[in-house]
């Protein structure tokens, strides 16, 4: 075979691979982009949820089935489009029952917190025992709320049978 032909084809092949890798990296970076909010723990918010005396200025949502995993109230100018998060009215018997059924486990105790937008402005309140949560601000005032679910990890902590600390 002609060595010049092989060298030329190797360069073309390398350029195609490099271009494809560059596109993959760009797509990953764009997909991970976005503006993220945070939470700031606040014992007053915890007390407001426990006593069923939350502020009526927010729109409330909960996540859960047999247990409540999290509840939140957000400024009405924001919205959550999700089948996992369901809207609920505050100051109702159902709201009170949901706060009483909050999931807790060893190392996961209920707490309240302020929900902050990417600039640090308070836009809502949070009630959960799950402290690993992400608030992604997308589109036109839409928030995507993602909670880490340690109760789904199983007895090995979700690490393939390796038990840490035992």
Question: Distance between CA 49 and CA 53 in Å, rounded?
Answer: 6
pLDDT at residue 30, as a whole number: 43
- Alpha helices of the chain — where are they, by DSSP H? 3-32, 43-50, 93-100
Cα angle 79, 144, 84; round to 5: 85
Alpha-carbon torsion (45, 51, 55, 60), positive or negative: positive
Q: pTM for this structure?
A: 0.71
Mean pLDDT by 10 residues, the chain (166 residues): 58 60 48 78 96 95 91 96 92 94 88 96 95 89 86 50 37
pLDDT at residue 12, as a whole number: 61
pLDDT digits (tens, 9 = 90+) for 80-114: 988 899 999 999 999 999 999 999 887 789 999 99
């Amino acid at each position: 075979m002609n060595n010049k032909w092989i060298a030329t084809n190797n360069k073309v092949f390398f350029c195609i691979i490099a271009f494809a890798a560059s596109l993959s990296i760009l797509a990953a970076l764009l997909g991970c982009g976005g503006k993220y909010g945070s939470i700031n723990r606040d014992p007053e918010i915890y007390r407001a949820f426990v006593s069923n005396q939350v502020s009526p200025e927010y729109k409330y949502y909960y996540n859960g089935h047999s247990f409540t995993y999290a509840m939140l109230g957000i400024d009405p100018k924001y919205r959550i489009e999700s089948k996992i998060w369901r809207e609920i009215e505050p100051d109702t018997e159902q709201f009170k029952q949901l706060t009483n059924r909050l999931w807790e486990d060893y190392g996961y105790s209920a707490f309240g917190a302020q929900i902050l937008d990417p600039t640090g402005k308070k836009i809502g309140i949070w009630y959960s025992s799950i402290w690993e949560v992400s608030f992604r601000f997308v589109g036109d005032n839409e928030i995507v709320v993602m909670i880490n679910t340690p109760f789904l990890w199983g007895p090995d902590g979700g690490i393939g049978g390796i038990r840490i600390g035992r």
